[in-house]
Structures are given as C-alpha cells and as structure tokens.
Structure 1
C-alpha cells in the first residue's frame, strides 16, 4: 500500500495480533486509497471478530469506511459481554478445542464440536448454516467472510479458555443438562431402564442416572464427579446460572 497515510492505534487486548512495532501506540500506515478500514485492520493481523468500535478522529465509523489521508484511527476491542443478536447463543468449536467443548457442554451450553479437521471452508459454512459462533485459535479461519459470527480463543489452557468464553458471551448456564460426548440433551433415567448398559459394580453402587436423548450414553456420579463438580461450582460462582442436576 502506498496511498494516503493514516495514523492507527490498537486497544491493548488486540496488540498480540499486530507486529511488534505497532504495539506501543499510534503508528503510520500507508493505505491504497480504495480499501475499507476493515480490510486495512485485517491486513495488519487483527480478525474483525475481535474488533469493537472503529473511531476515526474520535467518531465511530463502519468497517466499510474508506480511510482518507490524515485520518487518526483507534481500533477498540469487542465489548464484553458481547451481544450476539438474531439467534439463540450457540457455539461451534474447531478440532483443537475438544476439552473446551466438553466443559461448555458440562455447563449446559450448546457447543457443537468437530472432532476431525474438516477444513476452514466447511467450518465457516457450518457456522453460517446453523448460526453458531465459531470459536477458534486459527486467525485465518476467523477472517473467512462466510462465518456467521466468530471469536478468537486467547489461551491454550482449558481453564482460561472456559473463563474467556463465559466472560465474553455470558451464556446461560444449566449444568448437567447436556451430553458431554455429543451435545445432546440429557434426561433423568431410572436404573431399570439403563441396567443393561451398566457394569455390575456401577449397578450396585449408584442409583441416580441420566441418559442422552440422542446418543443414549448413560451418566452417573462416578469417580470423576468431584472434578467435574469443581468446574461447575467455579463457573457458577463467577458467572451465575442454575445449579440443578
């Protein structure tokens, strides 16, 4: 780009996306005179999924704004909690976020997950078809125009990933209501109806069961329950929701 020069700065939370020399404050960018501000921001490394308001000389503009010579641009981060208008809040996670998907499901959040790498075009198309927020650490995927909505997952640690998503989108929490394996809804099940699916030790030890209405997986409060309970308790304490089993 060698057209009109603008001055641009990024909110602290966005600076990890841009080159080192652009992280300390306002820097100069030469534009081509025809590209939109949204294109300019993405060309500098920031997915538009992460961008909140764009200010030119202090006034909000749309991503379609074409920068003019001398514009002073401020790029703000997406607001938190971030509203997602027009559809029930649902998520789609890529192949690298399986643990996060299971934890969201544990909390009753609708989280579809692709356990195989089906490719960015297919993921973006699925996001659009089912109107799901695409969660990913793949910046290229988040730049795809087909996406219905998307969000970058900032950490590679599951605890931090979960906190990030819950803080950013504030989804309603209904723990113990979704299958962590397939995302289907759970329903209470009496022991007789699931007896044939239980090992002898489980049948003798436990009396309270739930079953997935889609994949028919059976759940009970087994050896891992304390660890899962801790995840649920921490999430409810910090972000609220219903604690019913």
Structure 2
C-alpha cells in the first residue's frame, strides 16, 4: 500500500490477535487510501466481532469509515455485557466446542452445536438463517461476512470458556430445563412412561425423571449429578439466573 499514513492503538485485551511487532502502543500503518477501517482492523488480525467502538481522533466512527492521512485510530474491546439486537439470544457453536455447548444447555441456554465439521460456509449460513451468535476459536470463520453475529472463545479450557461466554453475553439461566444432548426442552416424566428406556438398576433406584420433548432422552439424578450440580451452582453464584430443577444424569 502506498497511501495515507495513520496510527492504530489496539485495546490491551485485543493485542493477542495482532502480529507480534505491532502489539505495543501506537502502530503506524500506511493505507491504500480506499480501504475501510473495518478492513484495516482485520488486516491487523483483529476480528471485527471482538472490536467495540472504533474511535478516530477520539470520535466514534463506523467500520465503513475510510481513514485519512494523520488520523489516529483506537480499537476498543467489546463492552460487557454485550447486547445482540434484533433476535432472541441464541448460540451456535462449532465442532470444537462440544463441552461448552453441553454446559450452556445444562444452564438452560439455547446452544445449537454441530458435532461434525460441516465447513465454515455452512456454519456461517446457519448462523445467519437462525440468527444465532456463532462461538468459535477460528478467527477465519469469525471474519465471514454472512454470519449473524459472532464471538471469539478466548480459552481452550471449558471452565473458562463458560465463564467468558456468560460474562460477555449475560444470557438468562434456567438450569435443568434443556437437553444436553440435542438442545431440546425437558419436561417432567412419570416413571411408567419412561420405564422402557431404563436399565433395571435405574428403575429400582430412582423415581424422579425428566424427558426431552425432541429426542426422547431420559434424565435422572445419577452418578454424575453432583459434578453437574457444582457447575450449575457456580454459574448461578457468579452470574445469577433462575429456572426449574429437572434431574440430570
């Protein structure tokens, strides 16, 4: 590029996206004179899903702004909690985030998940069609223009992934109301109606059940319940919420 020179300053939270030589303080960038600010931000490595306000000489501008010579650009981080206008808050997770999807569902959060790699174009199209926030650790996927909305998942550890998602979007929590397997709604079920789906030991040892209205999976307070209860309790303690209590394996 051989055009106007501008300076960039990226928020500390976003500097992990920027190439190493440009991570500290102000960075000089020579533009081509026609590229939008959004394009230039992404050329630094920062997905626009992670950029909050874009400030030029202290004033907020849209991503479509074309910078002129001498302008100073500040790329701010997204404000939390982040509001996604225009649709109920729902999520779509890529193939690498299965544990996070199950934990969100455990908390009653609508979280669709593709257990097979259907490809970036299909995921982006699904996000747009169903108006879901696409969660991913794939920066390239989050740069696709057709996604409805997106967010980078910063950690590779499920506990931190959950905290990050809940802290960023503040979804309403309703634990034990959603199927962790398929995302369907759970309803109380009497023992007789689900007995055909239970092992003999389960029939003898448990009396309280719930069943998914979509896939038919049956839930009860089995051996893993204490671990799941701890996840739920921690999320409610830190992020609040409410809802019903249905048994879970």
Instruction: Give the TM interval when normalised to the shorter protein.
Output: over 0.9
Please name the residue that 2:149 is paired with. 149
Structure 2 unaligned regions, length at least 5: none
Distance (Å, rounded) in 2 between the aligned partners of 1:141 and 1:219:
35
Please name the residue that 1:170 is paired with. 170
SS in 2 for 1:79: coil
Determine if contact 2:177/2:243 at 8 Å carries over to the other structure. no
Displacement of 1:243 in angstroms is 5.1
Please name the residue that 1:36 is paired with. 36
Q: After TM superposition, where is structure 1 displaced by more than 2 Å over at least 4 residues in a row? A: none
Please name the residue that 1:13 is paired with. 13
Please name the residue that 2:121 is paired with. 121
Please name the residue that 2:227 is paired with. 227
SS in 1 for 2:99: helix
Please name the residue that 1:193 is paired with. 193
Distance (Å, rounded) in 1 between the aligned partners of 2:20 and 2:140:
19
Distance (Å, rounded) in 2 between the aligned partners of 1:208 and 1:22:
58
Structure 1 unaligned regions, length at least 5: none
Displacement of 1:2 in angstroms is 2.0
SS in 1 for 2:54: strand
1:48 is aligned to 2:48: yes
Displacement of 1:20 in angstroms is 1.3
Distance (Å, rounded) in 2 between the aligned partners of 1:37 and 1:18:
15
Over the aligned positions, Cα root-mean-square deviation in angstroms equals 0.6
Determine if contact 2:3/2:33 at 8 Å carries over to the other structure. yes
Distance (Å, rounded) in 2 between the aligned partners of 1:130 and 1:113:
13
Distance (Å, rounded) in 1 between the aligned partners of 2:140 and 2:8:
22
Displacement of 1:23 in angstroms is 1.3
Distance (Å, rounded) in 2 between the aligned partners of 1:119 and 1:195:
40
Please name the residue that 2:139 is paired with. 139
Distance (Å, rounded) in 2 between the aligned partners of 1:99 and 1:30:
43
